[in-house]
Structure 1
């Protein structure tokens, strides 16, 4: 094993573009060879054992092999490691000392993504996974008036859920989001908040276009509505993209990169139209914002529009705190929040913007906030799948204990799905989660 150079360890981290259009990207033998190289280095380090279940799975395979080294692991079992990776990126951003420009050049999440892409290209992806990742299609059908009520009722029915597990492999105890015909986009349109005079501050134009996201639009439209109300209360014109599609994260996690590209071809032009008119883009779901800040720019490094959007899309609290730095945040709060258990999601942490949600909520008088940094283990679809649900709950268990012990007035996560994952393990009588944007709206007295 090579000795790491000190110079490589001290240089600023970098990320290589994803060479996904190269036919060699889908060469299974090459992918397996690279997995063997990286797995051997991970086995020698084991720093990431406390993160997702990919690493315990890998280390167990090694420790139970005949040689107790990676060369003793059957390459067919490599795919077990891949299946447990939900591309949270924490191993790359917070744990691994061997990321580029280090000579060992480890990018574990993107290696797992490449492996998933190989699996998808070979037609080995389950129908269940294709359906669960087709969020626009499922949401548009389940969100039809009357139909949404039936779907929501059936998803709460124990008998139906057992049948759903047999047919689709969706765990009967997993929380499934509700569907709404009164979407987030409809609610924002009714608010008429596009008017007003924009006041630039720092990097912000003071004009905000909301990328509602498929989840925010169909599953928790009140979050999108609260975002619009909070920004309008801060004297900013707010509008919507003319049209939008799923950001592509569910398809990315499936390895379906062509579908990610197709979604990009809808969303980027819609965003660029507004950016060229002086609007900034804000999205309420961290994974969706990260898609445009990181994954698409790495997939399309030569696309000027993708790179422009990268610099003009923001997390809501990042945006508000940028304006606070310039004295443009409304700090006239009407209601304290009391004790708050706030979970910062993985896809927010890896944006490297700091704890902006915590910083803003702590500005509210008589508010005491406890920061929860553990992974919830949800990842959108991982926690609902029968074979992974129990593991996801195990990952989330420390968060259950923290919130149960604190008995806060409010608890929640920037990732609404993580909030509901935490809810699933709380003591009886605990209220549902409250999204930080909703907390902020409450604090403003709106």
Structure 2
């Protein structure tokens, strides 16, 4: 047995407001302790590449007689393990040694890996690929609108993508999200609300960077479905709020690259825009599970203020909100359209929020619909799967998802996660809708079939 104690002497430093967060010795000790507990358990061996790498390195030290456990782990070992973590959070959900499970070990492997990246980024700098992928709102502002045809030409041209890969580190094989000719905010500023919108109140839509610049059809469908169910939709930066500053990225891509300062700036910016709405009694709904998870579960850890807590407490996943309407028997259930067999991809970051699979629950109320869940990881999660260094590993770990989609033999494929959808489009060659798009179809709110297609096949070309 290792000489490393299983339980921490003090609670681990999991967020930057802890003075020990950037202390390399404290981090090294926590890494060894966590690696030791994981090595003794091994339950997560099939979740990602981090755990096989961890076990191989600790086993090697033990087999050589150099160690009894993880006490001889060095920085090269840590880097190899951390670089294979794509922050799906599945290991935390399943781990029996977490605070959520009441365990004394207080393990949080994903947050520990995020801490390691933050410390490494502070000491070594932030890689170019992380600087680019960490700013989806800047890329979106530059590439959408009148620039969309040119931007989409570049992302479809394999030769140009190969050159881009060598310069930026972004995989030439990963299907990048297309740029929209008409952003969501521009559409909403000209949109006339449906009859009855506002009868039940007002909501704020956090459309996400992808919903604003890449897949505005998802945000448009969300507006139509919410208005159909009696709500006015507010969006800082558009329509009635067009005098406001725009919402920006949730900050998760920055955390993936270790850029804590950039994430904090975005959190503070977004909270300043959202807080007045929250104090006016409006719920924030989020169609992207990664952004929703970040807002509800992570924002306070990086900016620990009462204002952040207020915003987080008022935030719901979009489909989660629609489930609440169903429970209250206020969700409209007149569906002129049918969906047939639906393959529903269960996004990892929905599971990380511990809210079940609300999209599946909502679609199950549509007559003539059979929902078949595919509970497998896409191995994209944030920015990790877009990188050339990880592309093939991501494909390998996503194979169960690819097979599950094929085996479902569905009429419609849905995923709450835009990036997982890109993986499915690439590997399965099928269209992928957000659950709210499928619901809008069933309601008859989307009459032109092309309006419900991925942006790469409709508005953004």
TM exceeds 0.5? yes
Task: Give the root-mean-square deviation of aligned CA atoms.
Answer: 2.1
Query: Out of 360, 365, 368, which is 2:367 matched to?
Result: 365
For structure 2, list consecutive stretches of 5 or more residues without a partner in the other structure. Answer: 238-245, 446-461
Deviation at 1:53, TM superposition (A): 1.6
Query: In structure 1, how many angstroms separate the alpha carbons of the residues matched to 2:267 and 2:295?
Result: 9
Describe the SS at the equivalent of 1:386.
coil
Query: Out of 261, 275, 279, which is 1:276 matched to?
Result: 279
Deviation at 1:57, TM superposition (A): 1.6
Query: In structure 2, how many angstroms separate the alpha carbons of the residues matched to 1:390 and 1:87?
Result: 17
Deviation at 1:144, TM superposition (A): 4.4
Cα 1:72–1:16 shift into 2, 3 Å? closer
> 1:352 maps to what in 2?
354
Query: Out of 234, 238, 255, which is 2:233 matched to?
Result: 238
Cα 1:335–1:194 shift into 2, 3 Å? closer
Describe the SS at the equivalent of 1:25.
coil
Indicate if the aligned counterparts of 1:48 and 1:91 stay in contact, CA closer than 8 A: yes
Query: In structure 2, how many angstroms separate the alpha carbons of the residues matched to 1:383 and 1:114?
Result: 20
1:46-445, aligned counterparts within 5 Å?
46-65=42-61, 66-67=64-65, 69-93=69-93, 95-100=94-99, 101-145=102-146, 147-193=147-193, 198=198, 206-242=201-237, 243-301=246-304, 303-426=305-428, 430-445=429-444
Query: In structure 2, how many angstroms separate the alpha carbons of the residues matched to 1:307 and 1:143?
Result: 33
Deviation at 1:17, TM superposition (A): 7.8
Describe the SS at the equivalent of 1:84.
coil
Residue deviations 1:24-57 (CA, integer Å, cap 9, x gap): 3112222112101110110000111121221122
Residue deviations 1:214-268 (CA, integer Å, cap 9, x gap): 1110111110001001101111111212420111010111221111111111111
Cα 1:38–1:16 shift into 2, 3 Å? closer
Query: In structure 1, how many angstroms separate the alpha carbons of the residues matched to 2:328 and 2:171?
Result: 48
Query: In structure 1, how many angstroms separate the alpha carbons of the residues matched to 2:139 and 2:197?
Result: 38
Query: In structure 2, how many angstroms separate the alpha carbons of the residues matched to 1:194 and 1:388?
Result: 45
Indicate if the aligned counterparts of 1:18 and 1:299 stay in contact, CA closer than 8 A: no
Indicate if the aligned counterparts of 1:17 and 1:298 stay in contact, CA closer than 8 A: no
Query: In structure 2, how many angstroms separate the alpha carbons of the residues matched to 1:34 and 1:268?
Result: 32
Indicate if the aligned counterparts of 2:126 and 2:259 stay in contact, CA closer than 8 A: no
Indicate if the aligned counterparts of 1:188 and 1:224 stay in contact, CA closer than 8 A: no
RCO comparison, higher one (Cα < 8 Å, 6+): 2
Residue deviations 1:330-386 (CA, integer Å, cap 9, x gap): 010111111111011111111112221111101011111111111110113211211
Cα 1:273–1:181 shift into 2, 3 Å? farther
Query: In structure 1, how many angstroms separate the alpha carbons of the residues matched to 2:421 and 2:235?
Result: 25
Query: In structure 2, how many angstroms separate the alpha carbons of the residues matched to 1:412 and 1:251?
Result: 27
Cα 1:358–1:16 shift into 2, 3 Å? farther
Cα 1:150–1:141 shift into 2, 3 Å? same
Describe the SS at the equivalent of 2:266.
helix
1:45 aligns with 2:48: no
Query: In structure 1, how many angstroms separate the alpha carbons of the residues matched to 2:117 and 2:333?
Result: 46
Indicate if the aligned counterparts of 1:333 and 1:365 stay in contact, CA closer than 8 A: yes
> 1:11 maps to what in 2?
none
Worse overlay, 83-92 or 60-69: 60-69
Query: In structure 2, how many angstroms separate the alpha carbons of the residues matched to 1:207 and 1:298?
Result: 28
Indicate if the aligned counterparts of 1:251 and 1:259 stay in contact, CA closer than 8 A: yes
Query: In structure 2, how many angstroms separate the alpha carbons of the residues matched to 1:296 and 1:180?
Result: 28
> 1:8 maps to what in 2?
none
Query: Out of 31, 34, 41, which is 1:35 matched to?
Result: 31
Query: In structure 1, how many angstroms separate the alpha carbons of the residues matched to 2:400 and 2:197?
Result: 46
Q: TM-score normalised to the size of structure 2? A: 0.88
Number of positions where the alignment pairs a residue of Structure 1 with one of Structure 2: 426
Indicate if the aligned counterparts of 2:377 and 2:397 stay in contact, CA closer than 8 A: yes
Describe the SS at the equivalent of 2:389.
coil
Q: TM-score normalised to the size of structure 1? A: 0.90
